[in-house]
Amino acid sequence: MAKKEQAKVKSAYTKRLRKVREAQDTTQIWSLEDAVKYIKSNATAKFDETIEIAINLGIDTKQSDQNVRGMVVLPNGTGKNVRVAVFAKGPKAEEAKKAGADIVGDDDLAQRIQKGDMPFERVIATPDMMGVVGKLGQVLGPKGLMPNPKLGTVTMDVTSAVKAAKGGAVEFRAQKEGIVHVGVGKASFDEKKLCENIRALLDAVVKAKPATMKGNYLRKASLSSTMGPGVKLELASLLRAA
């Protein structure tokens, strides 16, 4: 698409979004079901917009024992094709390939990564490969790609790890402001599937509450799409069973 055409499309979406926001009551608190219906109705871009949730937590991220991080498999997937790289040798490398890994290697994969060749969104490693992977911390770490045993991405069960990554496993992590921001599906998903995904995520975030955390853990949450407006969510409806 030419730059002029891109500018016109961007301008049209900006005007549409401005009109939607002008008509929106920004003080309204929405139940999850109503919010999903509203967000879907305004996800009118020419591509399948991602539905995203932002959760504000009452944690102090400056305290090392109050970091919130985990992995959860969304029951209905993410709608994205996740490319998976696996560090493994011998039989485990063959197992990873059979499980559907996109890239499998050891020192050769490390060399590719060091050169900036990283055509993947998830990295899994067997424990014996962490000596190699550990040297890539400065490259993989800032991109959130470093394998971690707590997230199930350092494991001998590479089949389960690859299938989970391909099937809808998403990582959540509180940023320094205490906000967890995660894509929970696509606008093309039906409302029930999006609600199920969101509640699965919330359940995992609640279970990840630091033991040392005092006071109100879940403070507020909002839902939006890639190009659409955001709405505030009623926390009780997020925790309520579907």
CATH number at residue 30: 3.30.190.20
pLDDT for 242: 44
**Is residue 182 one of the residues assigned to a domain?**
yes
**Is residue 112 one of the residues assigned to a domain?**
yes
Structural domain tally of the chain?
2
- Measured distance CA(3)–CA(191) in Å, rounded: 35
Q: Are 30 and 61 members of one domain?
A: yes
Query: Pairing state of beta strands 122-125 and 50-57?
Result: unpaired
pLDDT for 25: 64
Q: Are 74 and 100 members of one domain?
A: no
pTM above 0.75, yes or no: yes
Q: Pick the last residue of a domain from 145, 167, 189.
A: 167
pLDDT for 239: 82
Q: Hey, what amino acid is at 11?
A: S
Q: Are 154 and 89 members of one domain?
A: yes
Helices (H), 48-190: 90-99, 107-114, 130-133, 137-140, 158-167
Q: Pick the last residue of a domain from 167, 186, 211.
A: 167
Please report where in the chains the tokens 């409806």 appear, as a residue: 237
**Is residue 16 one of the residues assigned to a domain?**
no
Which helix (H) or strand (E) is 180 found in, with range? strand 179-186
- What secondary structure letter does DSSP report for 208? T
Structural domain containing residue 227? 25-78+169-239
pLDDT 10s digit of each residue in the chain, 242 long?
Answer: 555 555 554 555 565 556 555 556 678 999 999 999 999 999 998 899 999 999 999 999 889 899 899 999 999 999 989 999 999 999 999 999 999 999 999 999 999 999 999 999 999 999 999 999 999 999 999 998 999 999 999 999 999 999 999 998 999 999 989 999 999 999 999 999 999 999 999 999 999 999 988 889 999 999 999 999 899 999 998 886 54
Sheet (strand 122-125) strand order: 103-105, 84-87, 122-125
- Measured distance CA(5)–CA(1) in Å, rounded: 6
**113: buried, middle or exposed (CB in 10 Å: 19+, 13-18, 0-12)?**
buried
